[in-house]
Amino acid sequence: MNHSFEVDGVDFQLWLSPCQQGYRLRLHDKVIAPIAFSHQADSRGVLTIAGQREPVRYAIDGEMLHVRIRGRTCILRYCDPLRTLASTNQEAGHLVARAPMPGVVVKTNVSPGQPVSAGMELMTIESMKLETVIRSPQDGAVDRIHFNEGESFERDAVLVTLSEERR
């Protein structure tokens, strides 16, 4: 079965299978074998790859894996095939306004149930000392406002959910 990780917005498909001294990793058209990982105490381990032993520091937070090798840190998101499907369905029939970057809600201009037209101001957010206005992508009605004024949110967080039909 193919699995995928996302790094900086790029998808990497891979396939892991067992082999004699550990595992075999297929990455696109490249095969790397054998590879092995031995855990050590608190967030430490050793990766064996291409006959080399690489000390690794790592931390796992849900689907996010933070891996540090040779002084370089990489953040990988494990894309669970089942979960990806579920979240797509959940949002069907709804429009969402997402946060372009992490920030804080400065002002909410609309309330749930309110009809809105395309381009209307939904919310003002602040990030890096700059205020940005989040506007409605099209006509509809406000379904839900996910953050109150003063609350902070992460990048890609859903700020406002809109339903397509005006009530």
Chain residues binding other proteins by CB under 8 A are 1, 3, 5, 7-8, 12, 14, 16-20, 23-27, 30-32, 35-37, 43, 45, 47, 49, 54, 56-61, 64-69, 71-76, 78, 80, 101-104, 106, 126-129, 149-150, 152, 154-155
Provide, rounded to whole angstroms, the least separation between the CB of residue 131 and other proteins: 11
Provide, rounded to whole angstroms, the least separation between the CB of residue 86 and other proteins: 15
Angle at 64 between CA 59 and CA 67, to 5 degrees: 45
Provide, rounded to whole angstroms, the least separation between the CB of residue 158 and other proteins: 15
Contacts of 138 (CB under 8 A, 6+ apart): 95, 118, 162, 164
Taking the least distance from each CB to other proteins, the nearer of 12 and 98 is 12
Q: What CA–CA distance (Å, rounded) separates 24 from 39? A: 18
Provide, rounded to whole angstroms, the least separation between the CB of residue 134 and other proteins: 15
Taking the least distance from each CB to other proteins, the nearer of 68 and 144 is 68
Nearest to 51 by CA among 79, 71, 74, 22: 22
142 and 136 Cβ atoms separated by less than 8 Å? no
Taking the least distance from each CB to other proteins, the nearer of 47 and 120 is 47
Taking the least distance from each CB to other proteins, the nearer of 104 and 118 is 104
Sign for the CA dihedral angle at 147, 103, 97, 134 comes to positive
